[in-house]
Structure 1
Amino acid sequence: MGDDLAYLEPGAAYGEDYGASAAAPLLSPAQEQRHLLAYAPLVKRIVRQLNSQVSGAIDRDDMEQIGLMGLLEALRRYGEPDAAFGSYAGLRVRGAILDELRRQDWRPRAVRQESHKLRDGVRALTRKLGREPAEQDIIAGLGITAEAYRDYQMAQNAESIGSFDEVLQETVGQGESAPSPEDQLMVRRSLEQALRGLDEREQRVVQMYYEFELSYKEIAAVLDLTDARVCQLNKGALGKMKAVLQSA
């Protein structure tokens, strides 16, 4: 990660993709470099999470570089980090990486078509059973392998995370400066309200994924579930939270 930081040239202008602020930077180049080093582990954790869901669509080193650019943008908008900066920076880092994934259209067309086919099959099975089908119901009912179902869940969940993060970005605001303390309080209250609408297991999944930054495999081990089931729970939880945030 140390070599990656050298590419960022703290104090230099951004490329167009990252939308540099026209205002003078609030931090000196030396301060930017120091904070980039301090928050580099945050970038690594987020990359580790997202990398497990996109099947190597972007090289991990490239994802870290993109994440570091997102971190640098966050520093320039926020100024001197305080206790609330980590959450703000995490959102910006994730947003930068997800934006690049969307720009590169990371899922081949054939993969997207197969995913849509499986999604339609799951919906039809749900109507047939009159309930949410379990993992084994889907595997047996659609005649697919457990691995194929896991890949489908990962793809669906990656889309859900991207969609949820877009709503968070809109809630936090896209201005050139960091959100005010009043805005941050509003966002926190909205998130707390959204979390209260989840059942206990959904809350634990969201907390472990977003707060403790565990991978799906690690969450599955803690909760004694399959990776696919964790994906399913996270996808459902993010859908509920997205609806609350949009209404707020």
Structure 2
Amino acid sequence: MNAAYALFDTPALDEGAIIARHAPLVKRAVRQLSSQVGAVLEREDMEQVGLLALLEAARRYGEPDEQFTGFAMLRIRGAILDELRRLDWRPRSVRQDAHRLRDGWRALTRQLGREPSEREAAAALGISLDEVQALLLAENAEAMHSFDEIVANGGDVGDERAPEQQLQLRIALASALRHLAPREQQVIQLYYEHELSLKEIALVLELTEARVCQINKAALKKMKNCLAATPD
């Protein structure tokens, strides 16, 4: 068929309908992330960024099917976190404090022979409990963005989607999930599958939000390592 005629045979996407139908994805992503970064970016601004990402996802994906939700959610979350990076939401001083917290936490764990509490970490480092929790939340958001990028890149095969590549990615993710400890699996599933916020997960598991961040970050690191070791 002549390429000029083929253009007329391709139905145009009803972008307005797609956005209206999938707008709740943006609300979910904002709800998930707002407790960690709400002080930096207002919810309304996060939603605007998310809606633009949803539109871009629809244009790249084509007519939505049952896999579109996961595809779009990754890009919505990624766009919001990209905007936060652009706003320099973690200035150098915060990054330095995060490194100090991480090193201090490891040293305290070795000293105590167990995971320290947030209060113990705050006392050992000479900072407030609020500062410890804020640093843990910021580090977790970075870890989520890094993991989302790996999943998005693994499933992004250009304008033509390859079902076999998507299947390989899902198998690799399932395998990576099986390598996690039971509590880590719970956190990952509640966040990515059931789309609860970290605050909601903390209530379900009767933990602090910062502790959920730690578990989530450790789980994502293990999964990233598993995915990196998976042959293409």
Tell me the TM-score normalized by structure 2: 0.87
Structure 1 Cα separation of the partners of residues 131 and 11 of structure 2: 48
**Runs of at least 5 residues in structure 2 that lack an aligned partner in the other structure:** 1-6
1:134 Cα deviation from its structure 2 partner: 3.7
The partner residue of 1:186 within 156, 161, 168 is 168
Matched, 1:138 2:125: no
Structure 2 Cα separation of the partners of residues 133 and 81 of structure 1: 46
1:169 Cα deviation from its structure 2 partner: 2.1
1:168 Cα deviation from its structure 2 partner: 1.2
The equivalent of 1:88 in structure 2 is: 71
1:144 Cα deviation from its structure 2 partner: 3.3
Q: Which amino acid aligns with 2:155?
A: V
The partner residue of 1:50 within 29, 33, 36 is 33
Structure 1 Cα separation of the partners of residues 221 and 116 of structure 2: 18
Query: 1:27/1:46 Cα in 2 relative to 1: closer, same or farther (>3 Å)?
Result: farther
- The residue matched to 2:64 in structure 1 has which SS? coil
The equivalent of 1:125 in structure 2 is: 108
Contact kept? 1:216, 1:230, Cα under 8 Å: yes
Alignment of 1:212-223 (within 5 A): 212-223=194-205
Contact kept? 1:164, 1:238, Cα under 8 Å: yes
Contact kept? 2:32, 2:197, Cα under 8 Å: yes
CA RMSD of aligned residues (A): 2.1
Deviations 1:24-55 (A, max 9, x none): 9x6636x1100100100101110121121124
Matched, 1:161 2:144: yes
Structure 2 Cα separation of the partners of residues 78 and 114 of structure 1: 40
Matched, 1:243 2:231: no
Deviations 1:46-67 (A, max 9, x none): 0121121124222222211111
Q: Please, which moves more after superposition, 81-90 or 138-147? A: 138-147
Tell me the TM-score normalized by structure 1: 0.82
Contact kept? 1:27, 1:80, Cα under 8 Å: no
The equivalent of 1:106 in structure 2 is: 89
Query: 1:179/1:102 Cα in 2 relative to 1: closer, same or farther (>3 Å)?
Result: farther
Matched, 1:170 2:184: no
Structure 2 Cα separation of the partners of residues 57 and 78 of structure 1: 30
Structure 2 Cα separation of the partners of residues 200 and 145 of structure 1: 31
The equivalent of 1:208 in structure 2 is: 190
- The residue matched to 2:81 in structure 1 has which SS? helix
The equivalent of 2:44 in structure 1 is: 61
Contact kept? 2:94, 2:135, Cα under 8 Å: no
Contact kept? 2:71, 2:152, Cα under 8 Å: no
The equivalent of 2:21 in structure 1 is: 38
Contact kept? 1:167, 1:246, Cα under 8 Å: no
Structure 2 Cα separation of the partners of residues 34 and 223 of structure 1: 37
Matched, 1:149 2:149: no
Structure 1 Cα separation of the partners of residues 79 and 147 of structure 2: 14
The equivalent of 2:4 in structure 1 is: none
> Taking every aligned residue pair, what percent have the same amino acid on both sides?
56
